[in-house]
Amino acid sequence: QSFAPTQAKQVLRAAHVVPARARCRLRRMRLHVAARTLHRTMSSNAFEHLKVDRRGALLDVTLNRPKKLNALNLEMVRELQSAFDAAEASQGCVALALRGEGERAFCAGGDIVAVRAAGLEDKPTTPFFREEYALNARTGALRESRVVQCSFWDGFTFGGGVGLSVHGKYRIATEKTQLAMPEVAIGLFPDVGASLALASTPGRAGEYAALTGARLDAADVVALGLATHCVASSSIDEIRDALAALDGDQPPAAFADAVDATLRRFHVAPAGAPAVRAHADAIDACFSEPDVRSILTALDADASPFCADAAAA
């Protein structure tokens, strides 16, 4: 269905009388435009920082700034919003596969170099953070939609890359996963909703990861419940093909279960033991202190190399 401008005006006027109905219709209009926009952009490769491809039940979205380790800038954030618009506008259910271009990174966070350059040129930096945080919130809201987000943590997943994915339905680790909130090294708190995700982890592992910026591998993120699945990096293309072949016309809950079952078919056990489990006693004892000074005192009092490294972070 398409909408003429006069119809749009009627909808806006109706919002004063039946706001709920008008809002629903306006949303349909926006999603209808988004679907047409995606069709045009996919056929013309109009996205500058993304690769977007629709195959069957799969919407394949690749962050495409490999020389910057797929770091987020404002333009990429806006392009991702457009891709998410299109996913929600699609007919039936959609598996949205989110991954990074290249061999090294899913997403190494926000492009701090670009943010700093904007600040030095007296350009506003607020829009980047405002729109990035809105995008993070949207990934969480997608859990209740027909869109099943599947983020492949195939490499560095830092800062903004965590926020872009950790609130989504499925988070897939590989043997290359390195997840961290390194912003703490420059005095920034764990933003992008990472404090919520880390707070949900067992014991005091979240406080440890938040305050030290420690890198968590596949074994760690699986043990902490941050990742929902673990697969071999070499199987990702085959997984995408399997997701594309799913029946998108089934009910959303059944479709989400089918995506989960597909990912589980490719499950592999993470290599090695999780470091956060091996050092759980020390982490819980030291990072349960009420403030940073007390945490540092507790770390200094422990003679282990692990605690010395944590204190120096």
- Assess whether 187 carries a catalytic annotation: no
Q: Is 272 annotated as catalytic?
A: no
* 3-class secondary structure per residue, the chain: CCCCHHHHHHHHHHCCCCHHHHHHHHHHHHHHHHHHHHHHHHHHCCCCCEEEEEECCEEEEEECCHHHCCCECHHHHHHHHHHHHHHHHCCCCEEEEEEECCCCEEECCECHHHHHHHHHCCCCCHHHHHHHHHHHHHHHHHHHCCEEEEEEECCEEECHHHHHHCCCCEEEECCCCEEECHHHHHCCCCCCCHHHHHHCCCCCHHHHHHHHCCCECHHHHHHCCCCCEEECHHHHHHHHHHHHCCCCCCCHHHHHHHHHHHHHHCECCCCCCCHHHHCHHHHHHHCCCCCHHHHHHHHHHCCCHHHHHHHHC
Q: Considering 79, 88, 109, 110, which one is annotated as catalytic?
A: 110
- Of 291, 274, 282, the residue nearest 211 (C-alpha): 291
Shortest CA distance to 111 belongs to which of 68, 148, 143, 142? 68
- In terms of Cβ atoms closer than 10 Å to its own Cβ (0-12, 13-18, 19+), residue 290 is exposed
Q: Which residue has the tokens 């938040």?
A: 210
Q: What is each CA distance from 307 to 108, 208, 298, in whole angstroms?
A: 26, 10, 9
Q: Is 110 part of the annotated catalytic residue set?
A: yes
Instruction: Give yes or no: 48 in active site.
Output: no
From the list 101, 111, 191, 220, the catalytic residue is: 191
Catalytic residue among 88, 183, 207, 217: 183
- Residues annotated as catalytic are 110, 160, 183, 191
